[in-house]
Amino acid sequence: MSADRDTLLTDSLRARADAGPPVEAGLLLAAALVRGRRLRTRRRIATATLAAVAVVAVGAAAATVLPDRQPPVPPASSTGPSQAPGPLTGDLARMPDAGQPGAAARPDLVGTDPLTVHFSIDALAGDAYEAGWRSRPGAESATALRPDGNITIDVARAEEDLPPLDVAGLPDVPLPDPSPTTVGDRPAKMSVVPEAALNVITWQPADGLWARASVSAGSRPADLSLLTRVRFDQSRRIVLPFGAAGLPAGLQLRETGVTLRADSEVGLFAYGRLVVGDGQRRLGLDATGTRTAGDGPRLQTAGPYQVNAVSAGDLWSVDLKHNDVLVTATSDGGERADAGTPVTQAQALQVIAGLEFADRLDDTAGWF
């Protein structure tokens, strides 16, 4: 990205934070990643397909094999003078008690259960407009986007195991040298990233446990007292309105994530992700809550569901829409260096055939 584009994006983010609601980073980034994977896979499928057919059939092949199936991307909120004072907030502290010790007492449990975060942000999510939780091998995270600022907490057993820091969608922005500070009575270090109006604080809430907080409030001073509202003596179970049952032999659940939004068009659910794998193969299932019917014919069967499946060689993509949940799986979902080899489309269809869906998207009590 050029310096001019960096400056333009940074100025846009800061202006939006000053003018109205904070940037809905979690949901927009999640939706952008899903859309990017689908578009990239679709483009590669189209290329592979077109190379295999005669030139005279190019147009028909592209239209037949690869219908337009872009997932819905939530529109960015307007920040003009007519906008309401702030986003709709609500009680998003909806993840149930996991019945496990918190990370302070058992740091060895962090990142070992894909359905659990061993800390709680309930005091922050209780009046947020967006909140999210994620667990993957070795690390756990939670985010609360609030009218008074955005905060993300990452937790791991060692500082070097904390997940990579994506600074407001600008991963190339380096962290300045930190200055000493405190979180409660614990020593900490803080780096200020003016390009993203972000404060990054790293500390040890307990021996054998590391935490990193990313706190942003636009041009307003960041309220670091938010950190004292995070509880490391509690744990929360990650629940989603869909779950994977009857996985193919050898595949296990490896990662989960869920995002709730107070103004979600379908209730509370905004975005979710399940990752299954065996240490070598990997399949990511991304889901968004939407009332949009979705594009493309659903002509193939996966268990009780009709799906839209396209493929060309090793490239493939599958969509399923059920109960206002649009689930997407692509061969590109496993292309990261640490992701392992993507499963085949046949294996993905087998996983999708075993999906279960909650009846309501506004009540996490019935989620999986």
Which CATH number characterizes residue 271's domain?
3.30.200.100
* Residue 105, domain member (yes or no): no
Q: Are residues 227 and 166 part of one domain?
A: yes
Same domain? For 311 and 207 the reply is no
How sure is the predictor about 339, in pLDDT bands with cuts at 50, 70 and 90?
low
Q: What is the pTM of this model?
A: 0.78
Confidence at residue 298, expressed as pLDDT on a 0 to 100 scale: 80
Average pLDDT, integer, range 9-30? 41
Q: Tell me: pLDDT of 24 over 80.
A: no
Asked if residue 243 and residue 227 are part of one domain, the reply reads no
Please check the confidence at residue 167 and state whether its pLDDT lies above 60.
yes
Q: Which residue has the tokens 């490239």?
A: 315
pLDDT class of 316 with cuts at 50, 70, 90:
very high
Q: Which pLDDT value is given to residue 287?
A: 97
Q: Are residues 250 and 367 in the same domain?
A: yes
> Which of 232, 256, 279 is the C-terminal boundary of a domain?
232
148 found inside a domain? yes
Instruction: Please report the pLDDT score of residue 256 as a whole number.
Output: 97
Q: Is residue 178 part of a domain?
A: yes
Contact between residue 160 and residue 212 where contact means Cβ atoms under 8 Å apart: no
> Up-side HSE of residue 293: CA atoms within 13 Å toward CB?
5
Report if residue 108 sits inside a domain. Answer: no
Q: Are residues 91 and 124 in the same domain?
A: no
Residue 307 domain-assigned? Answer: yes
Torsion angle, alpha carbons of 7, 86, 367, 309, to 10? -40
Same domain for 285 and 245, yes or no, is: yes
How much is the mean pLDDT over the chain?
79
Query: Domain check: are 270 and 221 in the same one?
Result: no
Of 232, 251, 284, the one marking the end of a domain is 232
The answer on 179 and 254 residing in a single domain is: no
Q: Could you tell me the residue range of the domain that residue 202 belongs to?
A: 117-232
pLDDT at 242: 97
Q: How many domains does the chain have?
A: 2
> How confident is the model over 308-314, as a mean pLDDT?
88
**Do 271 and 202 reside in the same domain of the chain?**
no
* CATH number of the domain residue 178 falls in: 3.40.1000
Q: Is the pLDDT of residue 171 over 70?
A: no
| pLDDT tens sequence across 252-304 | 999 999 999 999 999 999 999 999 998 888 899 999 999 987 667 788 999 99
Give me the mean pLDDT over the 66-74 stretch.
Answer: 30
Using 50, 70 and 90 to split pLDDT, how confident is the model at 219?
Answer: low
In a domain, 110, yes or no: no
Residue type, 102: G
The answer to whether residues 228 and 243 belong to one domain is no
- Let me know whether 304 and 228 are in one domain: no
Check whether 128 has a pLDDT greater than 70.
yes
Q: Are residues 90 and 3 in the same domain?
A: yes
Residue range 307-333: average pLDDT? Answer: 90
Q: Which of 215, 232, 249 is the last residue of a domain?
A: 232
Does 278 fall in a domain? yes
123 or 25, higher pLDDT: 123
Structural domain contains residue 109: no
The sign one gets for the Cα dihedral 334, 118, 170, 36 is: positive
Q: How confident is the model at residue 42 (pLDDT cuts 50, 70, 90)?
A: very low
In this predicted structure, what is the pLDDT of residue 246?
A: 83
